[in-house]
Amino acid sequence: MIIHKAEENYLKAIYSLTTAGNSEVGTNILAEHLSTKASSVTDMAKRLAEKNLIHYTPYKGFRLSDAGRDIALQIIRKHRLWESFLVEKLSFKWYEVHEIAEQLEHIQSEMLTNRLDEFLGYPKFDPHGDPIPDKNGVVAKLNTIVLSELEIGESAQIMGVKDSSAPFLQYLESQQLVLGTRLSLVERFPFDQSLKLEVNRQDTLTISQLVSKNLVVQRL
Amino acid sequence: MIIHKAEENYLKAIYSLTTAGNSEVGTNILAEHLSTKASSVTDMAKRLAEKNLIHYTPYKGFRLSDAGRDIALQIIRKHRLWESFLVEKLSFKWYEVHEIAEQLEHIQSEMLTNRLDEFLGYPKFDPHGDPIPDKNGVVAKLNTIVLSELEIGESAQIMGVKDSSAPFLQYLESQQLVLGTRLSLVERFPFDQSLKLEVNRQDTLTISQLVSKNLVVQRL
DNA sequence: CAACAAATTTAGGTCACCCTAAAAATATTT
DNA sequence: AAATATTTTTAGGGTGACCTAAATTTGTTG
């Protein structure tokens, strides 16, 4: 069965919107996520249901079928492997790679994907700290929290981001908050929930709640 | 201006059919080359002419415009760089890479193309011996001939192939006729124009005219 | 629970790309 | 040069993926 690029993008979007809590996605939310219109989503939903890639009852939202989830995971695998390639081998910055990986994730060749994986040394995480599904679609689970959940005095290491927009990633880099950076929480200001951090055991830095809610860390 | 994947493939096809002698391509030849129908080609010709990528007068054939040629050369550049990447870095065989490169050549990011070029060490030729256009679309000229044109007693080095189908490339590999191989012409049998070669200064090998006409070599 | 608001689907249209079959233009042969 | 063959274009359709505007269903609230 041929799965088109647009279909792959829908499956990927449904996947990321459903794993974030809710098990069903609505038409409007999906439309917004894909920068398209609700009617187009309904259109596509019929095609995907026809191909047994999603479960769909009109007015009731969509849910991935097992086949649909498999495809979504393979796309995500390819996306994250290519992002790793771009950063590790071609010296791209982590905030420059998303759009290119959006294109590369649709290249069809299992052999290519697996060779790339091998070439990169079977990485478990991409440059944003997101886990890379293996060739069977198995995703490594990680004991991570968002920085805003850290307690005063605790230390943590930056593992990734919730928001991977270029402006946010550039901001992080300007503050030396890159992947792997170690930090500890010095103080929380109740007024606006901003946080004072000690970074790399030397500098201190204050960040807003918006930032702390979008930074994924692992307790040390 | 947005140039679609299908349009890029037409430009590439027109380019390779025109540089091979004739300066104009006809509808049927192009249709066959692209595995499509003549009417579809006419259809596309109108769109490409509309975008000033080709010169087109009905019934008179097509010719690339300067803008069209620039695009064709960039696609070919990307195709050959990706083929080099697959062979050099991911250990693909030279006869396995064509279909994958057909997909990768449409990835849009000048930065990616240039970084890839750098990563590969600015190669001048791809694994099939075809020259890789540089970022300005300049193609290295090479003083090559097909093996069938070699004279008795002359030596040469394999630079590439005219036919890059997997069966032919696999045949070559089985006979140790890989890129860079040095050979000299021992004898030509007038009966069927088959050739007796000495390969790598040790083995001798007899090849048919079909093979000798599809092997590109450089005199030594 | 009726009335309104929000979410979703349907109806009908566009665009890129491809198709078949028929018509028209060009090339070749007698 | 007329007849035939070949090449190319036009006419009319189909599909995937999108759109706007109008209907419909579902959810919320007075």
- Residue of higher predicted confidence among B125 and B11: B11
Residues 43-102 of A with CB under 7 A from strand C: 43, 45-46, 56, 58-61
**A43 beta carbon to strand D: under 7 Å:** yes
Long-range contacts of B211-214 (CB under 8 A, 24+ apart): B211/B147, B211/B171, B211/B172, B212/B146, B212/B147, B212/B148, B213/B146, B213/B147, B213/B148, B213/B162, B214/B146, B214/B161, B214/B162, B214/B163, B214/B168
Please answer whether residues A209 and A194 qualify as being in contact, where contact means their C-beta atoms are separated by less than 8 angstroms. Answer: yes
Percentage of the residues of chain A whose pLDDT score is greater than 70 = 99
Q: Would the pLDDT of B22 be above 80?
A: no
Q: Which residues are CB-contacts of B203 (< 8 A; sequence separation ≥ 6)?
A: B176
pLDDT, one tens digit per residue, over A60-118 is: 999 999 999 999 999 999 999 999 999 999 999 988 999 999 999 999 999 999 999 99
User: Mean pLDDT over residues B33-43, rounded?
Assistant: 97
Please answer whether residues B201 and B182 qualify as being in contact, where contact means their C-beta atoms are separated by less than 8 angstroms. Answer: yes
State the Cα angle at B172 between B169 and B178, rounded to 5°: 95
Q: How far is the CA of A36 from the C1' of D19 (A)?
A: 9
pLDDT band at A20 (very low <50, low <70, confident <90, very high): low
Cβ of residue B115 closer than 8 Å to a chain A Cβ: yes
Structure confidence at residue B163 (pLDDT) = 85
Q: Which nucleotide is nearest to B48 (CA to C1')?
A: C16
Chain centroid to Cα A207, Å, comes to 22
Structure confidence at residue A200 (pLDDT) = 82
**A2 beta carbon to strand D: under 7 Å:** no
- Residue of higher predicted confidence among B142 and A94: A94
Structure confidence at residue B100 (pLDDT) = 98
Burial of residue B169 (number of CB atoms within 10 Å: 0-12, 13-18, 19+): buried
Q: How far is the CA of B80 from the C1' of C16 (A)?
A: 27
DSSP H/E element including B11: helix B5-19
Q: Which residues are CB-contacts of B6 (< 8 A; sequence separation ≥ 6)?
A: B44
Q: Which nucleotide is nearest to A61 (CA to C1')?
A: C8
Which of these, B198, B101, B203, lies nearest to B154 by C-alpha position?
A: B198
In angstroms, the separation between the Cα of residue B200 and the nearest Cα of chain A is: 32
**Residue B22, Cβ neighbours under 10 Å: how many?**
12
For the ranges B7-11, B22-26, B61-65, B75-79, which has the lowest average pLDDT?
A: B22-26
Tallying the residues shown for chain A, one arrives at: 220
Of B86, B104, B119, the CB nearest to A90: B119
The answer to whether the Cβ–Cβ distance between A115 and B92 falls below 8 Å is yes
pLDDT band at B94 (very low <50, low <70, confident <90, very high): confident
Tallying the residues shown for chain B, one arrives at: 220
Structure confidence at residue A65 (pLDDT) = 96
Structure confidence at residue A180 (pLDDT) = 80
* Pairs across A and B, CB distance < 8 A: 37
Structure confidence at residue B6 (pLDDT) = 98
pLDDT, one tens digit per residue, over B171-192 is: 888 888 888 888 999 999 999 9
Q: Would the pLDDT of B142 be above 80?
A: no
For the ranges A14-23, A95-104, B63-72, which has the lowest average pLDDT?
A: A14-23
Structure confidence at residue B20 (pLDDT) = 65
A39-43, A139-143, B137-141: which has the highest mean pLDDT?
Answer: A39-43
pLDDT, one tens digit per residue, over A158-196 is: 888 888 888 888 888 888 888 888 899 999 999 999 999
User: Mean pLDDT over residues A120-147, rounded?
Assistant: 89
- Residue of higher predicted confidence among B140 and A43: A43
User: Mean pLDDT over residues B52-78, rounded?
Assistant: 96
Report how far residue A90's alpha carbon sits from residue A96's, in angstroms, rounded to the nearest whole number. 11
DSSP H/E element including A185: strand A182-189
Of B90, B91, B109, the CB nearest to A100: B109
What distances in angstroms separate CA B52 from CA B55, B63, B124, one per listed residue? 7, 11, 30
Q: Would the pLDDT of A143 be above 80?
A: no
